[in-house]
Chain A
Amino acid sequence: MIERQRIRLLVVAILVAIAVVAVGVFVVDGGTADPDPVLFDDTVSMGLALEDEYGLEDDVRLPRAQVFYSQYEYVVGYYGVEMFVASFREAGHTDRFGHPRTVYVSDYSSVDVELSADGHPTADREPAWTDAESAWFAVGSEATTPSGQTIVPFADRDDATAFVDSHGGSVVAWEQLLDRDVEMDDATVVRDRVDQQHQNADERIEAVSALADRPVSTVVGEDAATVQEAIDSAPENTTVLVPEGTYNETLEVDRSITLRGEDDATIRGDGNGTVITATANRTAAVGLAVAGSGSQRQGDGELPGDEHDGEWDDTFERNYAGSDAAIGLHTANESLIEDVSVDSEVTGVVLRRSENSVVRDVTVDSPERWEDGHAGVLAFHSPTVVENATISDGRDGVYSHRSTGLVVRNSTLEGNRLGVHLMHTSDALLASNRLENQSSTGIYVMTGPERNAIVDNEIRGAEYGLFPDGSDSYVADNLLVDNRVGLRIDATGSRYEGNVVAGNEIGAQVRAMLPTNQVLENDFVENDVHADAGTGPLRVWTHDGTGNYWQGASSITGDRTVDGPYSPTAPVDRQLHRTDGAETLARSPALDAISGLQGTVPGMRTGSVVDLAPTCEPNEPDLLAETPWADRAWSCERIERGPSP
């Protein structure tokens, strides 16, 4: 009996224990305590282009925030508290990251903050971190980051008040701050200004086109024996006319003149250095063939042209812009190179610190082996318009370094290693270029720049078709065909829209860690794999209810949208367009039951892409018609139309 009593007691105890635990798991907070702040360098950060970061003085301490989200396993770092506020207020932000559980901001109460001449906050050391919810924020003051006006956080309200007393603005608390409208130039701003950028480029061309029509003052062979003599004797703002023939000379132009060739006038260098070097503003070279430069790829000595202040990229500048070239413009703003053909030994045209110059109707034939070449057109600190250029066989077709606002359009790039290669170049427009058979990458944007527009390009036969990095860029209406990887998505906060991605081994490959891109109305047709995702949270490629066209994601019901989500990375969905029977398997209730909630807690999922509202038909039928597979882009209404022939 006592034994039985004991068993009873034991059973009751176990039941009570189970009940306590069962109730207990609902009582305790599911989350852990507030995490400690981490090193900012260890966060996945956004809000500052690498170019801007390199350009900062050593004592500049930009305000920063680090955010621990409920669904995103990495700590996200923001340069500028306003950057976080803008992101947080964006539609869909909390869907993708979950809600911010803990936010730390730079605490300027912990240092003696002063503003530099540029308005950047400076201090002798990095400010400590403080919890944003209890911090005070100086808004609308004179403080700036390279991106614009910035918010300065303080743990102590008195410090914030003292700051606004001397630097203007007002003090607000966290709650009020989150309610403020913060304007940031995002990808849609870039989209909306594409036409304007084209127009600006037209104006820049207009501004220099008069250079081609300067009156002829000197004719080579009549007024002077050599081209160089003619250049030296011609008055400024006139044209030196070079009649048909080949001139074995190396030229230096240090005054504002135009060098115009007749018919096939050829300037041939002696195989050393740059053939034509110009260092004056408003210089023009028109209607020439140029050949015979040296073949040294990297310079190391002094560069021609005006002196400039030392900057972080001085070494690059000497190395890259010091390359031998057919034509080198150094500190020659508003210059024009038009109707020129180059038989390049290493680099075709170098533009260094030559703003608002124009390179048009230029042909560059690079050395046969790409290892021997450097760039067809190399723009260094030179926001230039390059149009109607034809560049082949080079290392880089067009290479740009810190040429904010560069425009490359209507150009043809063939057989280079990289077609267009941007380094530290923001606000560029790359439009309507045709890129074929680059051995590595069609358009490669590196080093985290901002607000680039890449539109209407046609890229075929590259290892990587389009490979943009950075943030807040607009990638639209490009035709990406027959590449190993059509579209590589490393850029964040960007909008990828209306691209036709067809016949590639991998249509789109996403490696961006932050799920902040808008990917919509693209057409994925006849790729071996439509999309492939690396580490990072689930990427939801649907924006404002609009998804993409995925060949194979068809529906038997026939509606304007496919009746379920489509995941190009899921085992069955990814086979839909090339394996018979996959569609039947995809409609199994078992798969439905699992995938029904696929878009939930996206931040916690890894390595996958889902489109919650795939479109029924291709979004860009005209662009798709330029591929052989337009008739393979089945509409989801195919059953009603009957089988395709």
Chain B
Amino acid sequence: MSDSSPSTGSGRSRAPPTRRRLFEAVVVREVRTVVRARSLLLLAATLTAVVVGITWIGDGFTAGYLPSIVDLLTPLELLVPIVAIAFGYRAILGDQQRGELDVLETYPVSARELVLGVYAGRAIGLAVTIAVALAIAAIAIAVGGDDPVRVYASHSGADSPILFARFLVLTVLFGLAVLAVAVAISAVVSVTRSALGLSVVALVALLVGFDLAIVYGLAEGIVGDADLLYTLAASPLSAYRGLVLETTVIVASGTGPRVASPVASLVGLVIWTVASLAVAVWAVGR
């Protein structure tokens, strides 16, 4: 953004909109789209209901933050990708279908800025959706804990809201990585039906495909024992799971074999995000 010229401070609005303003306009428009989309609001409400419901069924309210994380981890591995895909799979495709893409192309906005803007806007919506759902669960846990038996001295052990905050942050990051995949899909395809189809393919690959591939690799000896920790980072689900286990559950359960390489897993998620966005930029720029 080094091109922001000093002239923008002059107050004259006749000057052509700067690239930064265009980027901002795209972001703001995406956020508005997300907020207006009733289906996405419904999705957010559903996610919240499921998260709170699982916390309740699993007795997380009384047990504490860490048990709730353990209960939520697997369901969120399945749900977050679905929600993220729903948030993103028509993002750019929609613009294209409504002809807005053609309009936007008349502005001096590059494919990169367009994709980043769309992604940023949707990302805000998705992040808020996930964060609100988990924050409500966290509040429920904070308020809902049952009193320990009073005749004994009690303490909170390793349990802490900090752990739940880590879980929240990691879940948002995971969601953002899958959202990037969704945006890439929406940029690559040209009709809704194929967007839906490709999204389902992507979901299947994400939810079971990559993990099964790693299992196969391990069974066949393609993935060596020493490599598994890093191979896990290649599958977004495993990367996310490993990060959550490593930064929360291990705090309480202590010693044992390592469950994840946090750096590798984090890099894995970042690569998925960046690569997907790069594909989207390439597709839009076609």
Point out residues on A near B: beta carbons under 8 Å: 1, 5, 8, 21-22, 25-26, 28, 30-32, 35, 38-39, 42-44, 68-75, 94-95, 98-99, 101, 513, 535, 571, 590, 593-594, 596-597, 600-601, 603-608
**Contact for B169 among A25, A31, A101, A535, CB less than 8 A:** A25
| Cβ–Cβ contact A600 & B253, under 8 A | yes
Stretch at the interface among B54-62, B101-109, B228-236: B54-62
| Cβ–Cβ contact A600 & B70, under 8 A | yes
B223 to chain A, nearest CB (A): 23
CA–CA, A71 and B63, complex, Å: 10
Q: Answer whether A596 and B74 are a contact pair too, CB < 8 Å, given A99-B255, A604-B63.
A: yes
Is B201 close to A, CB under 8 A?
Answer: no
**Contact for A71 among B71, B163, B169, B252, CB less than 8 A:** B252
**Contact for B254 among A98, A513, A535, A605, CB less than 8 A:** A98
Q: What are 30 A-B pairs at a CB distance below 8 A?
A: A1-B9, A25-B169, A30-B158, A30-B248, A32-B160, A39-B153, A43-B152, A68-B157, A69-B157, A71-B66, A71-B252, A74-B148, A74-B149, A75-B154, A94-B254, A95-B253, A99-B255, A101-B157, A571-B57, A593-B78, A594-B58, A594-B71, A597-B70, A597-B73, A601-B66, A601-B67, A601-B253, A604-B157, A605-B63, A606-B62
Q: Which A residues lie within 8 Å of B159 (CB)?
A: 604
CA–CA, A43 and B162, complex, Å: 27
Question: Which single residue of chain B is at the shortest CB-CB distance from A35?
Answer: B155
Is B165 close to A, CB under 8 A?
Answer: yes
**Contact for A26 among B10, B149, B155, B247, CB less than 8 A:** B247
CA–CA, A28 and B70, complex, Å: 21
Q: Which B residues lie within 8 Å of A597 (CB)?
A: 70-71, 73-74
- 12 further A-B contacts with Cβ under 8 Å, apart from A30-B251, A99-B255, are A31-B158, A31-B251, A44-B152, A68-B157, A71-B252, A73-B157, A98-B157, A535-B148, A594-B75, A597-B73, A600-B249, A606-B59
Is B192 close to A, CB under 8 A?
Answer: no
Q: Which A residues lie within 8 Å of B62 (CB)?
A: 606
Is B151 close to A, CB under 8 A?
Answer: yes
For chain B, what secondary structure do more than half of its interface residues adopt (helix, strand, loop), or is it mixed?
helix
Q: Which B residues lie within 8 Å of A608 (CB)?
A: 59
| Cβ–Cβ contact A32 & B156, under 8 A | yes
| Cβ–Cβ contact B146 & A94, under 8 A | no
| Cβ–Cβ contact A75 & B153, under 8 A | yes
Point out residues on B near A: beta carbons under 8 Å: 8-11, 24, 54, 57-59, 62-64, 66-67, 70-71, 73-75, 78, 146, 148-149, 151-160, 162-163, 165-166, 169, 247-249, 251-255
A145 to chain B, nearest CB (A): 22
A269 to chain B, nearest CB (A): 47
Q: Answer whether A604 and B64 are a contact pair too, CB < 8 Å, given A25-B166, A74-B153.
A: yes
B265 to chain A, nearest CB (A): 13
**Contact for A1 among B8, B70, B163, B254, CB less than 8 A:** B8
Most buried by B among A1, A39, A43, A594: A594
| Cβ–Cβ contact B148 & A593, under 8 A | no
A362 to chain B, nearest CB (A): 42
| Cβ–Cβ contact A42 & B157, under 8 A | no
**Contact for A73 among B54, B78, B155, B247, CB less than 8 A:** B155
Q: Which B residues lie within 8 Å of A31 (CB)?
A: 158, 160, 251
Q: Which B residues lie within 8 Å of A22 (CB)?
A: 169
Q: Which A residues lie within 8 Å of B249 (CB)?
A: 600-601
Question: Which single residue of chain A is at the shortest CB-CB distance from B247?
Answer: A26
Question: Which single residue of chain A is at the shortest CB-CB distance from B67?
Answer: A604
Q: Which B residues lie within 8 Å of A593 (CB)?
A: 74-75, 78
| Cβ–Cβ contact A70 & B251, under 8 A | yes
| Cβ–Cβ contact A594 & B57, under 8 A | yes
| Cβ–Cβ contact A594 & B9, under 8 A | no
CA–CA, A606 and B58, complex, Å: 10
A322 to chain B, nearest CB (A): 34
CA–CA, A40 and B27, complex, Å: 60
**Contact for B54 among A71, A594, A607, CB less than 8 A:** A594
Question: Which single residue of chain B is at the shortest CB-CB distance from A599?
Answer: B70
Question: Which single residue of chain B is at the shortest CB-CB distance from A44?
Answer: B152
CA–CA, A8 and B62, complex, Å: 42
**Contact for A68 among B67, B74, B155, B247, CB less than 8 A:** B155
CA–CA, A26 and B24, complex, Å: 30
Most buried by A among B10, B54, B252: B252
| Cβ–Cβ contact B154 & A74, under 8 A | yes
Question: Which single residue of chain B is at the shortest CB-CB distance from A21?
Answer: B165
Question: Which single residue of chain A is at the shortest CB-CB distance from B27?
Answer: A11
A76 to chain B, nearest CB (A): 9
Question: Which single residue of chain B is at the shortest CB-CB distance from A66?
Answer: B153
| Cβ–Cβ contact B152 & A42, under 8 A | yes
CA–CA, A604 and B158, complex, Å: 9
Q: Which B residues lie within 8 Å of A99 (CB)?
A: 253-255
Q: Answer whether A603 and B157 are a contact pair too, CB < 8 Å, given A25-B166, A73-B148, A74-B148.
A: yes
| Cβ–Cβ contact B154 & A73, under 8 A | yes
A7 to chain B, nearest CB (A): 9
CA–CA, A69 and B253, complex, Å: 10
CA–CA, A594 and B79, complex, Å: 13
| Cβ–Cβ contact A594 & B74, under 8 A | yes
| Cβ–Cβ contact B74 & A42, under 8 A | no
Q: Answer whether A101 and B75 are a contact pair too, CB < 8 Å, given A1-B11, A94-B254, A606-B63.
A: no
| Cβ–Cβ contact B152 & A98, under 8 A | no
Question: Which single residue of chain B is at the shortest CB-CB distance from A23?
Answer: B169
